[in-house]
């Protein structure tokens, strides 16, 4: 009889380190015996309570314990939630990276920024080609998404074929003519697929996604009715949308000005790879801008999410050195409002209107389509792949649950649908599948140059400071004579202003004096630590009683 230990060492393991239970942070481990291959290494942007945090990346603890086994990173496409953690991964694991041309070009730019361009080898794989990472043989399959060069993966393993959908939609009229390769997925369905890992982002939406070309028709209507400058804010990675805007500019006799560092960088990459049809004579610089009539100007800019330092936000709040919004401008926010960004975006829209611009966004016109499959497309993929086992990936927990339910309506037995979360170990051994416990995983917070040094207690302190403010009480004493040489003084930051309620701070000083006199009488040697803790306790009680507030209180005692 085979032992549990033998099964554990010889099973095919699929372990999500991120992306199952949240949007972003996508990272998957494929493990068989002594070989680990990674799929994607993405980041997540901080949630509202992660004060001061720049980005969030997966925890690599499980990989560090198996450092010698980590062979390669395979990347499905070039969005930040799939490539954003790569620089941090490479610092630990200088492994080769496999991806399509645009994906690798974006990764190369990122590595240059981090001084890591010589840390790894970038190996180009085209759709239809297979890479050998023994015992895994991985074919890249063409898919459609909101960025060119997206790929699904057909992974040949000792336990059968695993299909990883990547982020996808089924678009029959893609801008670049590269259609979702449903036939290739179907050919694997004919051979027999053991596991399907499928994107869950839009599982709650019935029907089909619109084609990217449908956005082009709406944009064309806007161009026809606009007589002033047109500004289109779009994700710099959405080269299909950028291409449509450039084509429309050409059709309506407008020259294109690129605005924003990532926009300039990504358009350059798109030109170099042939992904963008954008001749140099159609582009203008800031010096040429004012020499053209407004009706011949188009700005392609970043800032569709209202990011404070983005080009569009700086224009809206009059912080841009070279561009100002004026009456007659038409501003198009050609992207979805990401949940959590609504207030920031609305603030930018209001400022744009104050300057006399007309603003068009997804809530008033169809100027954006999703890059993620709706229910009917998800069902189509299931129907052609016909997997034995199904695992929903890429989504919050409710998305994973809904996708499992959808799979069951397609005839996949409930016991063959596995609802995993980050850290769960899905294992297949001799055709049987189960979840074999969990591995260490989690979220690593990146704050400036600090990686993982900001944890729960620090965030709690930051939240406390942001909500209740800070009070610092200072006192200079002579421990030998048991006398006060200076103070007590109180500094309030974010709690109350000294001029607004001076009586409260004066009373707080009196409390410090009372505590000091009591401790002097009770303690022969004047214990400074006891004095500090008593002052803190009495001030906390006082502020809560008088103002119903609980500021962070620091007591600084200096003994001279």
Residues 122 and 97: beta-carbon distance below 8 Å? yes
Beta bridge partners of 489: 474
Active site residue 199: yes
Nearest to 56, CA basis, from 97, 99, 24: 24
Beta bridge partners of 41: none
Residues 488 and 474: beta-carbon distance below 8 Å? yes
Tell me which of 167, 199, 422, 447 is the catalytic residue: 199
Active site residue 108: no
> Cα separations (Å) of 396 from 21, 94, 166, 330?
4, 31, 16, 35
Residues 438 and 424: beta-carbon distance below 8 Å? yes
| Distance of alpha carbon 447 from alpha carbon 22, whole angstroms | 20
For the chain, give percent helix, strand, coil, nearest 5.
35, 25, 40
Residues 130 and 137: beta-carbon distance below 8 Å? yes
| Distance of alpha carbon 57 from alpha carbon 42, whole angstroms | 7
| Distance of alpha carbon 322 from alpha carbon 324, whole angstroms | 7
| Distance of alpha carbon 313 from alpha carbon 323, whole angstroms | 11
| Distance of alpha carbon 426 from alpha carbon 17, whole angstroms | 12
| Distance of alpha carbon 517 from alpha carbon 321, whole angstroms | 60
Q: By three-state DSSP, how is residue 557 classified? A: strand
| Distance of alpha carbon 384 from alpha carbon 494, whole angstroms | 60
| Distance of alpha carbon 507 from alpha carbon 517, whole angstroms | 15
> Cα separations (Å) of 296 from 253, 292, 293, 357?
6, 6, 6, 17
**Could you tell me if residue 25 is left (phi over 0), alpha (psi between -120 and 50 degrees) or otherwise beta?**
left
Helix-then-strand count for the chain, H and E: 17, 27
Number of C-beta neighbours around residue 137 at 10 A = 14
Determine which helix (DSSP H) or strand (DSSP E) holds 55, and give its type and residue range.
strand 55-58
| Distance of alpha carbon 299 from alpha carbon 292, whole angstroms | 13
Tell me which of 77, 79, 82, 372 is the catalytic residue: 372
Alpha helices in 84-211 (DSSP H): 86-92, 101-113, 182-191
Token pair for residue 507?
């009373």
User: Would you please indicate which residues are annotated as catalytic (active-site) residues?
Assistant: 199, 372
């Amino acid at each position: 009889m085979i032992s549990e230990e033998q099964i554990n060492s010889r099973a095919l393991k699929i372990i999500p380190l991120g992306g199952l239970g949240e949007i972003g942070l996508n990272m998957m481990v494929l493990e068989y015996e002594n070989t680990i291959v990674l799929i994607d290494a993405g980041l997540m942007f901080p949630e509202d309570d992660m004060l001061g945090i720049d980005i969030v990346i997966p925890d690599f603890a499980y990989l560090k314990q198996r450092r010698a086994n980590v062979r390669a990173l395979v990347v499905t496409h070039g969005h930040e939630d799939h490539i954003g953690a790569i620089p941090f991964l490479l610092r630990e694991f200088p492994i080769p990276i496999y991806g399509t041309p645009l994906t690798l070009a974006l990764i190369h730019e990122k590595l240059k920024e981090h001084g890591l361009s010589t840390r790894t080898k970038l190996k180009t794989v085209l759709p239809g080609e297979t890479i050998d990472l023994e015992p895994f043989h991985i074919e890249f399959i063409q898919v459609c998404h909101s960025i060119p060069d997206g790929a699904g993966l057909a992974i040949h393993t000792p336990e059968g074929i695993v299909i990883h959908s990547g982020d996808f939609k089924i678009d029959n009229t893609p801008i670049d003519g590269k259609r979702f390769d449903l036939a290739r997925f179907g050919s694997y369905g004919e051979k027999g697929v053991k596991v399907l890992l499928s994107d869950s982002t839009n599982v709650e939406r019935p029907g089909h996604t619109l084609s990217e070309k449908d956005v082009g028709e709406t944009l064309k209507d806007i161009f026809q009715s606009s007589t002033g400058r047109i500004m289109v804010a779009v994700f710099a990675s959405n080269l299909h949308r950028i291409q449509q805007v450039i084509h429309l500019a050409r059709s309506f006799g407008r020259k294109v000005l690129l605005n924003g560092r990532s926009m300039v960088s990504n358009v350059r990459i798109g030109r170099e790879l042939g992904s963008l049809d954008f001749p140099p004579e159609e582009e203008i610089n800031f010096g040429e801008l004012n020499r053209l009539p407004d009706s011949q100007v188009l700005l392609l800019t970043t800032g569709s999410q209202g990011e404070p330092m983005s080009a569009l936000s700086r224009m809206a709040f009059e912080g841009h050195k070279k561009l100002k919004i004026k009456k007659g401008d038409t501003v198009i926010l050609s992207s979805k409002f990401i949940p959590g960004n609504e207030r920031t975006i609305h603030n930018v829209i209001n400022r744009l209107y104050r300057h006399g611009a007309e603003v068009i966004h997804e809530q008033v016109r169809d100027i954006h389509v999703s890059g993620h499959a709706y229910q009917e497309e998800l069902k189509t993929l299931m129907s052609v792949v016909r997997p034995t086992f199904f695992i929903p990936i890429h989504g919050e927990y409710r998305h994973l649950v809904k996708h499992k339910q959808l799979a069951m309506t397609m005839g996949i037995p409930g016991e063959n649908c596995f609802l995993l979360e980050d850290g769960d170990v899905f294992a297949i051994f001799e055709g049987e599948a189960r979840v074999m416990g969990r591995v260490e995983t989690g979220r690593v917070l990146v704050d400036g140059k600090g990686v993982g040094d900001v944890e729960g207690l620090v965030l709690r302190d930051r939240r406390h400071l942001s909500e209740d403010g800070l009070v610092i009480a200072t006192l200079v004493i002579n421990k030998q004579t048991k006398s006060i040489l200076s103070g007590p003084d109180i500094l309030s930051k974010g709690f109350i202003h000294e001029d607004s309620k001076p009586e409260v701070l004066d009373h707080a000083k009196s409390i410090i004096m009372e505590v000091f006199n009591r401790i002097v009488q009770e303690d022969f040697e004047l214990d400074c630590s006891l004095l500090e803790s008593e002052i803190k306790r009495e001030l906390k009680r006082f502020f809560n009683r008088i103002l119903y507030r609980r500021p962070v209180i620091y007591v600084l005692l200096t003994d001279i």
